[in-house]
């Protein structure tokens, strides 16, 4: 066991998750974090919440030199970030920064970064349809600007967040879906701005890894959920959590039969850390490979946990969205083949979905529905 540092993380659920992530890293992976400068784009979002808390929590133990946090606050959240910076202003430096138009060369300390995590993108379908061009530009223009800047630097790791959406709607014989599946993706449609931007972003990473030998890891997330996901995020777990917190019935804008696997945030961040610290170009699915649940079954788990934690009395009902394109190109199934991540990274997600939902709702109960 390691010593838990008495700083930064006040929420019990998040603190326990930080410790779980740390325990699941190897000594070799931890060594790459020591004495490092870490630069993160899009740090104010869901995944940024856990990355930032993890690095802040272990900054002293790992002797992290600097955490450079970049965020344009188009959809990111500022209050918790400001509080985190205030907890360790000597190490954490927050900059309002647009990866599409601003130059990373102007950010103090950026040229000394050892590890780079590029999360700057909109991931919620509701919001990337409002900001489609910004979504494309963050994943292509912003990524290209970062890669150009770090092409001649000596990085320990560069993590690009792609998406399981690059697979589109896989044919049944490709469920579970391996990294080798090339996808069944629409180039034109309401989701194309996100799906195709992530696909081209992967191509950019591949080319820069080939030409400059950059240690780029590409992660393809599969349906993450948990603390740090704002209840106004508009993705499925956030919508269900918001209904429970507010005591409203759970609304499903489909027939409830599409299926997904859902990965709790501590398992997800563990996987992303392993991809970042792998040290060479590779692509990995990161998520949970079982059980594959229908949307209705997922909703039922929220109602069950909600009764215990919030004395929730709501029910589930089905509705048709007023948005005629709401379900256009929506995948029928989503389930990863994790063989590659298990074999090469030692990745082993372990939090059952029912337990993860309870942890998410307990976190919201402790924070009155807000990000702490």
- Whether residue 126 is predicted with pLDDT greater than 90 in this model: the reply is no
Which of the four pLDDT bands, split at 50, 70 and 90, describes residue 10?
Answer: low
β-sheet with 66-71: strand ranges across: 92-96, 66-71, 37-41, 115-118, 157-161, 216-221, 282-286
Beta bridge partners of 260: 293, 334
pLDDT tens digits for 208-267? 999 999 999 999 999 999 999 999 998 999 999 999 999 999 999 889 999 999 999 999
The answer for residues whose C-beta is within 8 angstroms of residue 294's C-beta and 6 or more apart is 256, 257, 258, 259
Query: So where are the chain's domains?
Result: 12-229+262-290+330-351
Place of tokens 């993108």: 121
Which of the four pLDDT bands, split at 50, 70 and 90, describes residue 8?
Answer: very low
When the pLDDT of each residue in the chain is averaged and rounded to a whole number, the result is: 93
- Whether residue 74 is predicted with pLDDT greater than 90 in this model: the reply is no
Nearest to 43 by CA among 94, 114, 87: 94
The answer for residues whose C-beta is within 8 angstroms of residue 245's C-beta and 6 or more apart is 231, 310, 364, 369
How far, rounded to the nearest angstrom, does the alpha carbon of residue 286 sit from its chain's CA centroid?
A: 10
DSSP 336: B
C-alpha 79/C-alpha 44 separation (Å) is 9
C-alpha 279/C-alpha 151 separation (Å) is 15
- 12-229+262-290+330-351 classified as CATH 3.40.50.1370: no
- Contact indicator for 293, 225 with CB cutoff of 8 Å: no
Q: Write down the H helix ranges in the chain.
A: 12-23, 27-33, 46-57, 59-62, 79-87, 125-130, 132-137, 143-150, 192-212, 236-246, 265-276, 295-310, 339-345, 353-366
pLDDT reported for residue 2: 29
Question: Beta strands 259-260 and 293-294: pairing type?
Answer: antiparallel
b/e per residue, 89-128, with b = 16+ CB within 10 A? eebbbbbebbbbebebeebeebeebbbbbbbbbbbbbebb
Residues 17-33 have a mean pLDDT of 98
| φ/ψ of residue 230, rounded to 5 | -60, 135
Between the alpha carbon of residue 297 and those of residues 215, 282, 303, 307, the distances in Å are 40, 34, 10, 16
pLDDT reported for residue 114: 98
pLDDT tens digits for 255-282? 999 999 999 999 999 999 999 999 999 9
Which of the four pLDDT bands, split at 50, 70 and 90, describes residue 316?
Answer: very high
- Whether residue 319 is predicted with pLDDT greater than 60 in this model: the reply is yes
C-alpha 228/C-alpha 53 separation (Å) is 10
**In the chain, what is the straight-line distance between the N-terminal and C-terminal CA atoms, in Å?**
26
Cα Rg, the chain, nearest whole Å: 19
């Amino acid at each position: 066991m390691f010593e838990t540092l008495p700083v930064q993380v006040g929420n019990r659920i998040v603190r326990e998750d930080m410790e779980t992530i740390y325990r699941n890293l190897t000594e070799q992976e931890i060594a790459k974090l020591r004495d490092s400068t870490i630069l993160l784009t899009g740090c104010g979002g869901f995944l940024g919440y856990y990355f930032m808390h993890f690095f802040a929590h272990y900054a002293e133990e790992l002797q992290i030199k600097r955490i450079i946090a970049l965020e344009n606050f188009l959809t990111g959240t500022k209050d918790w970030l400001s509080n985190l910076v205030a907890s360790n202003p000597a190490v954490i430096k927050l900059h309002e920064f647009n990866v599409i138009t601003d130059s990373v060369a102007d950010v103090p300390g950026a040229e000394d970064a050892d590890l780079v995590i590029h999360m700057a993108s909109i991931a919620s379908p509701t919001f990337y349809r409002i900001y489609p061009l910004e979504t494309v530009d963050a994943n292509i223009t912003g990524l290209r600007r970062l890669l150009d800047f770090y092409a001649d630097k000596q990085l320990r790791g560069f993590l690009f967040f792609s998406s399981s959406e690059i697979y589109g709607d896989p044919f049944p014989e490709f469920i579970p879906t391996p990294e080798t599946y090339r996808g069944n993706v629409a180039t034109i449609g309401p989701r194309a701005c996100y799906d195709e931007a992530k696909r081209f972003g992967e191509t950019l990473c591949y080319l820069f890894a080939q030409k400059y030998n950059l240690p780029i890891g590409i992660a393809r997330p599969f349906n993450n959920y948990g603390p740090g996901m704002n209840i106004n995020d508009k993705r499925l777990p956030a919508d269900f959590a918001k209904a429970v917190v507010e005591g409203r019935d759970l609304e499903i804008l489909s027939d409830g039969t599409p299926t997904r696997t859902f990965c709790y945030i501590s398992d997800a961040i563990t996987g992303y850390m392993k991809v970042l610290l792998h040290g060479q170009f590779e692509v990995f699915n990161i998520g949970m490979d079982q059980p594959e649940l229908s949307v209705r079954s997922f909703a039922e788990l929220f109602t069950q946990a909600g009764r215990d934690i919030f004395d929730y009395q709501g029910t589930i009902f089905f509705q048709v969205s007023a948005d005629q394109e709401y379900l256009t190109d929506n995948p029928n199934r989503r389930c990863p083949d994790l063989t590659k991540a298990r074999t090469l990274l030692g990745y082993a997600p372990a939090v059952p979905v029912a337990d993860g939902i309870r942890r998410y709702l307990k976190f919201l109960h402790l924070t009155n529905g807000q990000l702490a």
